[in-house]
Amino acid sequence: MEIAIVLGLLMLAITLFVTEKLPVDVLTLLLLTALVGTGVLAPREAFAGFSSDIIIILGSIFVLSGAMQETGLLDVVGDRLALIGRGSSNRLLLALMGAASGISAFMNNTTVTAMLVPPVIGIARNAAISPSKLLMPLAFASIFGGTCTLIGTSVNVAVSGYIAHSQLAPLGFFEITPIGLVIVAVGTAYMLIIGQRLLPAHENESLTATYALCDYLSEIVVLPGSPLAGQRCHASELSRLGFRILKLIRGDAELLPGSEVIIKPGDMLLVEGKMDDLMKVAETEGIEIKAQRKLEDAGLQGTELKVAEALIAPQSVLIGRTLRTADFRKHYGLSVLAIHRQGQPLREKIGDVRLRLGDLLLVEGPAECAERLPRDAGLVILGECRRTGALTRKGFYAVGAFLAAIIVGSAGWLPLSIAFLAAALLSVILGCISIERARACIDLRLLILIGGMTAFGTAMEKTGAAQWLAHGIVVALSPLGITAVMAGFFVLTILLTQPMSNAAAALVVLPVAMSAARELGLDERTFAISIMLAASISFIAPLEPACILVYGPGKYRFVDFIKIGGGLTLILIPVVLFLIPVFWPLYANSR
């Protein structure tokens, strides 16, 4: 019965991950509640994962990454890339992938991708290269780099913690570096030789075309005596009839249609809506249609109000919320004209769309409000790159604290968790990052996911579900040889990373793979490392957060990732499976 409960919850979790009906942190906590409520786990067992070193290490790395981001490290990288890549697209691609891989070996790959997207777009435009030729390689390279060190990705830290929980030696800081460098080299070579030939070369479209804004912008004048006069823009009769007021022009002044702005006779409104519907209400609403012209970017940009694209980054406070519940216009002083998600513009009732990582928002408002978005809302403004030239003094402090944590932790002078916690605290004390910003940088969703899925692995082992599944896989694949058994778990992990996050997929497969290794007399730790690497080389679909971040800005299609990333995954699978026994023993008694 307990095995049935655990496997049933596993299938339910996979289904809910696919449908995205619930946020991952809420789903994880519901799973833990179900495991405790059915008696499978005691409360102490269910929440043991939240008190492990894993959580301290990841939280500290988030803060340190934020500190280096705040102090201009990635801006400097963007400057250097622009200089290195002049005159040669191959040299630019090689420099970009090398820089992204090197940085993401020590920083969260999603953060690295998010912060390098704007400078890479700027570099592409200056070099007359389509951004789509660079953004997918950027995302892939940041994932490659995560395979080079223990802290390169949350998957590595989570698997190392699970290994230690199983009374085995945790991963050394640079233990996976040799095989990680091979992955970087093979992946970079693939993108240079094959990938860039398959990458689309989209021309820069206008914002109005990209976001599929309505074909016509209606320019109307509010007549004296119109019932619209005296109404607030946000709750006007036009708004209730489904028209969107994009801008209000009163004399020489340009106003955003906020809830406090009152329409007056003589005001000119730029209204987005179907012309046929507008003509039907023109008489009753007391408006005069002054002009009808095709909506172009120039029609949106004004002298006081500017239009820009904003990318929802990993730590954005808007993830999981709607524009309406976030009261976006009031809090940030900007209007959202349209939303673009994974190749598709969203035009209907955008105020009620639940926002996701990687969504692009077309915003309009004062330039100073847009400049505050990265700090206030966790958004990245595309097409803009600060020119810093060199690290600030506090930037050197942040980098120094990070390097000190790596040296002290990898040398064993302090536990890795304490070394990184001390470095994170030092970066706050030295003013490299404010305490408010440090809190915002910590991805609680990921910490809850890893802590909860670690407990799910415990449930699978405790109930015998892991052993039951392992036995079935061993019986089916062992006649084909030990390599076939490892390859089976390897491919299973890759497939599970499609509906689930990489860390969740690894933690689900880990107990089963380690149980199979015990049954065959093989080294459990070697199998665990293979699962960890499998979770990091899945490029089949754009579901990895780093890939989601470049989907919209690169104007990619789903099939682009399947074609390019699928080929890369098929090449890396045999390479990694061949190298694992080279670096780690297959048999337990040979260690």
CA-to-CA distance for 337 and 306, rounded, in angstroms? 12
Instruction: Provide Rg for the chain, Cα atoms.
Output: 26
Tokens of 2: 């307990």
pLDDT of residue 383: 63
Using CA atoms, how far apart are residues 423 and 71, in angstroms rounded to an integer?
Answer: 15
What's the pLDDT score for residue 570?
A: 94
Helices (H), 191-311: 196-198, 207-210, 237-240, 275-285, 297-300
Select from 459, 476, 481, 496 the least CA-distant residue to 581: 481
Helix (H) or strand (E) holding 128: none
Q: Which residues contact 178 (CB under 8 A, 6 or more apart)?
A: 583
pLDDT at 142: 94
Alpha helices in 464-522 (DSSP H): 465-477, 482-496, 502-520
Residue 347 parent element (H or E): none
Q: Which residues of 527-550 are buried (b: 16+ CB within 10 A; e: fewer)?
A: bbbbbbbbbbbbbbbbbbbbbbbb
The CA angle 248-252-258, to the nearest 5 degrees, is 25
> Both tokens of residue 88?
């040669």
How does strand 287-294 pair with strand 216-222? Answer: antiparallel
Burial 265-281 (b: 16+ CB within 10 A, else e): eebbbbbbbeeeebeee
Domains in the chain: ranges and CATH: 2-46+73-203+443-590 (no CATH), 214-294 (3.30.70.1450), 306-381 (3.30.70.1450)
Query: Model pTM greater than 0.75?
Result: yes
In sequence order, what are the beta bridge partners of 587?
Answer: 522
Q: What is the DSSP string of 354-366?
A: PP-TT-EEEEEE-
- What are the per-10-residue average pLDDT scores of the chain (591 residues)? 87 80 86 92 89 88 85 72 69 89 89 85 81 93 94 91 88 94 96 92 69 63 80 74 75 74 83 66 67 52 72 85 86 83 75 86 82 80 59 83 91 91 94 88 86 88 88 89 92 86 88 92 94 92 85 88 92 95 83 56
- Give SS3 for 310: strand
What is the rounded end-to-end Cα distance, in angstroms, of the chain? 38
H helices of 229-360, in order, are 237-240, 275-285, 297-300, 328-332
pLDDT of residue 281: 66
